[in-house]
Structure 1
Amino acid sequence: MSDNTSAIEEGAKKSGILWLTLDRPRLAWHAWHDGSIYVVTGGEEQQLPGLDALDRVHVTLRSKDNGARLVEFDAAVSVVDQAAAGDAMAALAKERLNARDSEHLAERWARECTVVRLTPER
């Protein structure tokens, strides 16, 4: 594992938020699972306009402690088949704080939201 890959994994695991360069820098909560970052967009969740239509996106991870930039990288973007991504969906649900319907998150996400996998480009 390269130093950059290690920094990405460590930063993504330690901080529950990141910045995505979209129409403007957008703050997003996420989950790290199996070498990729997962985010939920749409419906009642965070709005990350246009993310699901991109091939790649620029990601910035910042320190949870002091907000300092830890690492920046480009990531390949792919829309996730939620029905086939059980472990990733469970990881996302665990990271989703203060949901009004935590016991029904998966059902609501399947109806209203898009789940996107961001895979760091090596």
Structure 2
Amino acid sequence: MSDDTAAIEEGAKKSGILWLTLDRPRLAWHTWHDGAIYLVTGGEEQALPGLDALDRVHVTLRSKDNGARLVEFEAAVAVVDQAAAADAVAALAKERLNALDSEHLTERWARDSTVLRLTPARL
């Protein structure tokens, strides 16, 4: 594992939020699972307009402690088949704070939202 890859993994695991460069910088909550970042958008979840149509996105991870930039990188964007990636979706659901319907969260996502995987580009 390269130093950059290790920094990405460590930063993504330590902080539950990141910044994406979309129409403007967008803050998003996420989880790190199996070598990639997973996040959800749409429906009642965070608005990340146009992310699902991109092939790549610029990601910035910041320190949970002081907000300093830890690492920036490009990531490949892929829409996740939520049924096929149930373990990743379950990991993401565990990170969802303050959901009104936590026991039915993944069912709502399957109906109303898009789960995305951001895989850091080869560094």
Q: Which residue of 2 aligns with 1:82?
A: 82
Residue identity matched to 1:11 = G
TM-score normalized with structure 2 length: 0.99
Residue identity matched to 1:12 = A
Alignment gaps of 5+ in structure 2: none
In 2, the alpha carbon distance for the partners of 1:19 and 1:33 equals 18
Q: Which residue of 2 aligns with 1:7?
A: 7
**Secondary structure of the equivalent of 1:13?**
helix
In 2, the alpha carbon distance for the partners of 1:118 and 1:41 equals 13
Q: Deviations over 1:34-59 (max 9, x none)?
A: 00000100000000000000000000
**Secondary structure of the equivalent of 1:84?**
coil
Once the two structures are TM-superposed, the CA of residue 118 in structure 1 deviates from its matched residue by 0.1
Q: How many residues align?
A: 122
Q: Which residue of 1 aligns with 2:40?
A: 40
Once the two structures are TM-superposed, the CA of residue 18 in structure 1 deviates from its matched residue by 0.1
Residue identity matched to 1:69 = R
Query: Would you identify which runs of 4 or more consecutive aligned residues in structure 1 move more than 3 Å?
Result: none
Q: Deviations over 1:60-118 (max 9, x none)?
A: 00000000000000000000000111110111001000000000001000000000000
Q: Which residue of 1 aligns with 2:23?
A: 23
Once the two structures are TM-superposed, the CA of residue 11 in structure 1 deviates from its matched residue by 0.1
RMSD: 0.3
Residue identity matched to 1:71 = V
